[in-house]
């Protein structure tokens, strides 16, 4: 198992997701929103009422700040494997715990993206994302569609993108005893 | 240089990049469809200058109606104007299909969907440039700075998607042996998208209602787009789908569980 993608303590093996440009996309979208909301007002900032200026800036920041916070949490994405469960984490806002005895199948697939997405950007997919071919998948991944490792359980399907997929699958299989 | 040209460059660049990105995400064969946008680029200017404008002006002159004062125009003329763009534009958007190479992927729903979408988006991008040219000719707008045309950017970006979906409906109908149904469907969607703007120009509704109606139509187009995609996906053979999937681990029934 490659050392650079995992760290061990006594019982938990931690896997990191593969790198992506998801953070750059989030920052770019956040900056784009602020620019589109604020830039047109700058040349006439002295002529329009302050409340209108503040409302525009506020609306821009309302959308931009959450995106920047999400980008800041990308380094915290990880997959923790212990003797009982696989836990997918992303900052303090996402935690999926998958009991090992519920895992039925693991498969790699390029997913077909649906327009009806929740938290999905190029290079980042979080929470429940509807896909055109797989239906609803609980995502904690640094890719929206390409080479997603799907974990089928009795309660649903999860999507992850471990940096070292081979080691990840081997570790899960070893813990399951399959 | 009129400010609208700067915003037009931004709009065309963003639209081209975004819809290329969308194609890349939704179909692995995106490269085969991308070039279809190129022959569609000049079609908006062609249909507007050579077909819509002469017909519109001819009918207006014949009826003695001033197109600058639509609020006083008779209802039949407004209906005529409402249908003129959809009827002519939806027809010309598929003219590139006369090229044999453009028909190469029409054998499947998937190919028809993305061929139509690429043609429509190309038409929309060309239309954005043509409209910018029209705005630049207006003394009221020619001197305005570029950053005041964000409404143009938003509208044209969305309209590109709308044209893509409408043309996808038409091309899908053509390839399914139901050309009239495809054409009427595309024309009706186009008419619905334009109705709010025309009602606003006629002074019937405030701009907010026109904007809201366009939003509703765009949402409807998104629903239709997704439905076309799902139909195309269902048509994809199970063997092709299986080839894209690698099973890394499958639990035996005796490994655990109920």
**Scanning every residue of chain A, which has its alpha carbon at the shortest distance from the alpha carbon of B222?**
A115
Name the 3-class secondary structure at A101: helix
Average pLDDT over residues A16-24: 91
Does residue A9 surpass a pLDDT of 50?
Answer: no
pLDDT at res. B240: 63
User: What are the phi and psi torsion angles at A137 (to 5°)?
Assistant: -125, 130
Sorting pLDDT into bands at 50, 70 and 90, what band is B126? very high
Q: Are B249 and A178 in contact (CB under 8 A)?
A: yes
CB-nearest partner of B147 from A43, A101, A108: A43
Beta carbons within 10 angstroms of residue B38's beta carbon: 13
Average pLDDT over residues B156-185: 94
**Scanning every residue of chain A, which has its alpha carbon at the shortest distance from the alpha carbon of B147?**
A40
Chain B residues whose CB is inside 8 A of the A108 CB are: 245-246, 248
Predicted confidence (pLDDT) per residue in B56-99, tens digit: 999 988 988 877 777 778 889 989 999 999 999 999 999 999 99
Look up tokens 């440039």; give the residue: B129
Average pLDDT over residues A155-166: 95
For B20, B28, B34, B112, B191, the CA distances from B16, given in Å and listed in that order, are 6, 18, 10, 20, 25
| DSSP states along B152-165 | HHHHHHHHHHHHHH
Sequence-ordered alpha helix ranges (H) in chain B? 3-26, 30-34, 37-40, 43-47, 53-63, 75-92, 109-136, 139-142, 150-175, 179-201, 207-235, 238-243
Q: Is the dihedral of CA A3, A6, A7, A9 positive or negative?
A: negative
Output the average pLDDT for chain B: 89
Residue A133 to residue B148, Cβ atoms within 8 A: no
pLDDT at res. A118: 59
Does residue B255 surpass a pLDDT of 60?
Answer: no
Q: Is the dihedral of CA A33, A35, A38, A40 positive or negative?
A: negative
Least confident of A49-58, A86-95, B23-32: A49-58
Token pair, residue B124, equals 């929309």
Least confident of A16-30, A45-59, B210-224, B240-254: B240-254
Does residue B256 surpass a pLDDT of 80?
Answer: no
Cα B177 from Cα B182, distance rounded (Å): 9
pLDDT at res. B133: 94
pLDDT at res. A77: 96
Token pair, residue B106, equals 């029409």
**Scanning every residue of chain B, which has its alpha carbon at the shortest distance from the alpha carbon of A131?**
B230
Percent of chain B topping pLDDT 90: 56
Does residue A50 surpass a pLDDT of 60?
Answer: yes
Token pair, residue A155, equals 């309660």
Cα B11 from Cα B17, distance rounded (Å): 10
For B58, B68, B73, B200, the CA distances from B64, given in Å and listed in that order, are 10, 12, 9, 22
Chain B residues whose CB is inside 8 A of the A104 CB are: 250-251, 257
> Which residues of A lie closer than 8 Å to B, measured between beta carbons?
36, 39-40, 43, 101-110, 112-116, 122, 132-133, 144-145, 149, 154, 165, 169, 172-173, 176-178
Cα B37 from Cα B44, distance rounded (Å): 12
For A49, B56, B74, B86, the CA distances from B63, given in Å and listed in that order, are 47, 11, 9, 21
Q: Are B168 and B120 in contact (CB under 8 A)?
A: yes
Which range, A57-61, A148-152, B234-238, is most confident?
A148-152
pLDDT at res. A116: 66
Size of interface A-B (CB pairs under 8 A): 73
Beta carbons within 10 angstroms of residue B232's beta carbon: 22
Residue B257 to residue A102, Cβ atoms within 8 A: yes
Average pLDDT over residues B103-125: 93
Average pLDDT over residues A6-24: 80
User: What are the phi and psi torsion angles at A175 (to 5°)?
Assistant: -70, -35
Does residue A1 surpass a pLDDT of 80?
Answer: no
Chain B residues whose CB is inside 8 A of the A43 CB are: 145, 147
Torsion of CA B228, A125, B217, B235, to 10 degrees: 0
> What is the pTM assigned to this prediction?
0.70
Cα B155 from Cα A40, distance rounded (Å): 16
Count the residues in chain A: 178
C-alpha A173, offset from chain centre: 24
Average pLDDT over residues B168-174: 95
Q: Are B113 and B232 in contact (CB under 8 A)?
A: yes
Token pair, residue B100, equals 């044999």
Q: Are B45 and B56 in contact (CB under 8 A)?
A: no
Residue A108 to residue B246, Cβ atoms within 8 A: yes
Identify which of A162, A177, A176 has the alpha carbon closest to the alpha carbon of residue A1.
Answer: A162
Identify which of A159, A153, A81 has the alpha carbon closest to the alpha carbon of residue A120.
Answer: A159
Predicted confidence (pLDDT) per residue in A117-129, tens digit: 656 677 899 999 8
Sorting pLDDT into bands at 50, 70 and 90, what band is B107? confident
Predicted confidence (pLDDT) per residue in B36-56, tens digit: 999 999 999 999 999 999 999
Chain A residues whose CB is inside 8 A of the B245 CB are: 107-109
Q: Are B133 and B56 in contact (CB under 8 A)?
A: no
Chain B residues whose CB is inside 8 A of the A173 CB are: 249
A98 vs B144, residue with greater confidence: A98
Percent of chain A topping pLDDT 90: 49
B190 vs B201, residue with greater confidence: B190
CB-nearest partner of B222 from A105, A115, A176: A115
Does residue B152 surpass a pLDDT of 60?
Answer: yes
Cα A110 from Cα B247, distance rounded (Å): 12
| DSSP states along A141-168 | ES-SSTTEEEEEETTEEEEE-BSSHHHH
pLDDT at res. B113: 94
Beta carbons within 10 angstroms of residue B111's beta carbon: 21
**Scanning every residue of chain B, which has its alpha carbon at the shortest distance from the alpha carbon of A135?**
B230
Predicted confidence (pLDDT) per residue in A78-114, tens digit: 999 999 999 999 999 999 999 999 999 999 998 877 7
Chain A residues whose CB is inside 8 A of the B230 CB are: 132
Identify which of B123, B142, B147 has the alpha carbon closest to the alpha carbon of residue B12.
Answer: B123
């Amino acid at each position: 198992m490659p050392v650079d993608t995992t760290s061990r303590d006594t019982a938990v093996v931690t896997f990191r997701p593969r790198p992506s440009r998801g953070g750059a996309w989030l920052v770019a979208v956040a900056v784009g929103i602020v620019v589109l909301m604020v830039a047109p007002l700058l040349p006439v900032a002295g002529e329009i009422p302050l409340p209108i200026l503040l409302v525009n800036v506020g609306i821009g920041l309302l959308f931009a700040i959450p995106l920047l916070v999400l980008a800041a949490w990308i380094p915290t994405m990880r997959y923790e494997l212990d003797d009982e469960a696989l836990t997918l984490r992303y900052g303090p806002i996402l935690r999926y715990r998958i009991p090992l005895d519920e895992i039925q199948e693991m498969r790699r697939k390029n997913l077909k993206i649906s327009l009806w997405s929740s938290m999905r950007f190029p290079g980042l997919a979080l929470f429940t994302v509807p896909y055109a071919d797989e239906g609803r998948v609980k995502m904690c991944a640094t890719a929206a569609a390409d080479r997603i490792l799907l974990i089928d359980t009795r309660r649903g399907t999860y999507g992850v993108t471990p940096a070292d997929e081979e080691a990840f699958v081997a570790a899960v299989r070893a813990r399951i005893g399959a | 240089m009129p400010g609208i040209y700067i915003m037009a460059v931004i709009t065309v660049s963003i639209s081209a990049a975004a819809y290329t990105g969308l194609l890349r995400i939704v179909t692995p064969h995106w490269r085969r469809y991308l070039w279809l946008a190129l022959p569609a680029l000049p079609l908006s200017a062609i249909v507007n200058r050579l077909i819509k404008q002469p017909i519109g002006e001819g009918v207006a002159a014949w009826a003695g109606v001033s197109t600058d004062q639509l609020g006083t125009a008779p209802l039949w003329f407004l209906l005529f104007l409402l249908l003129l763009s959809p009827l002519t534009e939806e027809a010309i958007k598929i003219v590139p299909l006369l090229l044999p190479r453009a028909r190469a992927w029409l054998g499947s729903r998937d190919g028809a969907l993305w061929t139509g979408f690429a043609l429509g988006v190309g038409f929309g991008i060309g239309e954005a440039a043509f409209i910018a040219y029209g705005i630049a000719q207006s003394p009221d707008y020619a001197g305005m700075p570029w950053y005041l045309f964000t409404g143009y950017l938003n509208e044209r970006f969305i309209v590109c998607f709308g044209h893509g979906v409408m043309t996808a409906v038409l091309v899908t109908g053509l390839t399914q042996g139901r050309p009239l149904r495809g054409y009427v469907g595309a024309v009706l969607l186009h008419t619905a998208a334009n109705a709010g703007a025309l009602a606003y120009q006629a002074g019937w509704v405030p701009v907010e209602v026109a904007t809201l109606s366009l939003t509703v139509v765009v949402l409807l187009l998104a629903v239709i787009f997704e439905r076309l995609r799902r139909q195309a996906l269902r048509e994809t053979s199970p063997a092709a789908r299986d080839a894209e999937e690698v099973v890394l681990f499958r639990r035996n029934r005796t490994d655990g569980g109920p």
